[in-house]
Amino acid sequence: MSSKKVINFGAGPGKLPEEVMLEVQREFVEYGDSGISVVEMSHRSQEYEAINNSAQRLIRELLDIPDTYSVMFMQGGGTGLFCAVAMNLMSRSGKADYIVTGSWSAKAAKEAAKYGSVNLVLPKTDSYVDVPPQSSWNLDPEASYVYYCDNETVHGLEFPDIPDTKGVPLVADMSSNILTRPFDITKFGVVFAGAQKNIGPSGTVLVIVRRDLLGSPLPVTPLVWDFSVMTKDNSLHNTPPTFGVFVMLRVFEWIKRQGGVQEMAARSAKKSSLIYNAIQQSAGFYLCPVKPRARSRVNIPFRIAAGAELEAKFLSEAKKRNMIQLKGHRLVGGIRASLYNAVTVEEAQTLADFMKEFQKANS
Ligand SMILES: *Cc1c(COP(=O)(O)O)cnc(C)c1O
């Protein structure tokens, strides 16, 4: 049972496992028998090298990543990677395909356009409610890569399948759904994930790159975002976000103890079904704008049909019951429940029960 008073449904930075937080707290002042904290320790020390290597080994194990891929811990957040991806891969043909299905992939496409020619695979829209079928996509066979966001955190869309790019390297932003379901890494050229949704503190980014894509960055590429440099130096070219990598290691260990990514996927399916069922069974009191096939298991945006006033009441009553950070993103409004790995099935059940009770009292 949790000792915390609140249930944190925040979209990011999001909830981390309490067990890990307590572990990190215990270890914070003195790491092992080093006599100092991990935040006071040289990144060239044996202790830190062990943390760095263990984190890398564990994420390879959890996601079944073969040696043909480089695994790096970088900085600059998900947004930093928007340009890093373009700078490292764009030189192949000078153009790239972007599948824009929400605000995060839209931002990535805008950033990439600074470094090459961006082809929008889907017609432009600002109402993101579906992942259109692949038969309707306008893919360019000469693209350097095809980019998409596997889970749109703001709009609550998740790709039901991995896109088939007919051999063009596929790049995925998995910031908000990494480690919530297994996936076949060999279908990807690059996968990256900002840490603060499912993995650890903000600022650290997990980056996985197929090794044959290394070695041709644009000349303007900063050293800290050069995948080849960071691979060669094992994420230790400059001072890495040492605390972030340390927490990530403890989160990876926690996932392994829980039963791995399969178990995270099983819990994710349960948690999201509880909320979607509450929406479905509300007979129109709650509405989810996203088409069923593209609904995210991780970020669930929904509205109350009666309007913004009742949504405000919902949020304030939820808060009185210690359910916090449920307010929808400012771009879409309404309510959003984020169900990252650290959010338990019981906590999702508590929210689903509250939704039903609130509906009864207010319809
Ligand atoms: C949060 C998020 C980002 C941005 O991360 P920053 O660390 O704030 O730059 C990018 N992509 C997705 C899918 C996200 O959820």
Assess whether pLDDT exceeds 90 at residue 134. Answer: yes
Mean pLDDT of 144-167: 97
Q: What is the pLDDT of residue 2?
A: 62
Q: What is the pLDDT of residue 126?
A: 84
Q: What is the pLDDT of residue 279?
A: 98
Residue-wise pLDDT tens digits, 172-218? 999 999 999 999 999 999 999 999 999 999 999 999 999 999 999 99
Residue-wise pLDDT tens digits, 42-51? 999 999 999 9
How far, in Å, from the CA of 360 to the mean position of ligand 1? 36
Q: Which ligand 1 atom is at minimum distance from the Cα of 194?
A: 7
Q: Which ligand 1 atom is at minimum distance from the Cα of 202?
A: 7
How far, in Å, from the CA of 33 to the mean position of ligand 1? 36
Q: Whose CA is nearest to atom 10 of ligand 1?
A: 78
Q: Which ligand 1 atom is at minimum distance from the Cα of 174?
A: 13
Residue-wise pLDDT tens digits, 253-272? 999 999 999 999 999 999 99
Assess whether pLDDT exceeds 70 at residue 348. Answer: yes
Residue-wise pLDDT tens digits, 323-342? 999 999 998 999 999 999 99
> Which one-letter amino acid corresponds to residue 349?
Q
Q: What is the pLDDT of residue 3?
A: 66
CB of 71 closer than 8 Å to CB of 207: yes
Q: How confident is the prediction for the chain on average, in pLDDT?
A: 97
Residue-wise pLDDT tens digits, 210-246? 999 999 999 999 999 999 999 999 999 999 999 999 9
Measured N-to-C along each axis, helices 103-112 and 77-89 cross at an angle, to the nearest 10 degrees, of 40
Residue-wise pLDDT tens digits, 39-96? 999 999 999 999 999 999 999 999 999 999 999 999 999 999 999 999 999 999 999 9
Mutate to test the pocket of ligand 1, among 147, 149, 176 (most ligand atoms within 8 A of CB): 176
Q: Which residues are catalytic?
A: 104, 173, 197
Assess whether pLDDT exceeds 90 at residue 4. Answer: no
Cβ of 198 closer than 6 Å to ligand 1, yes or no, is no
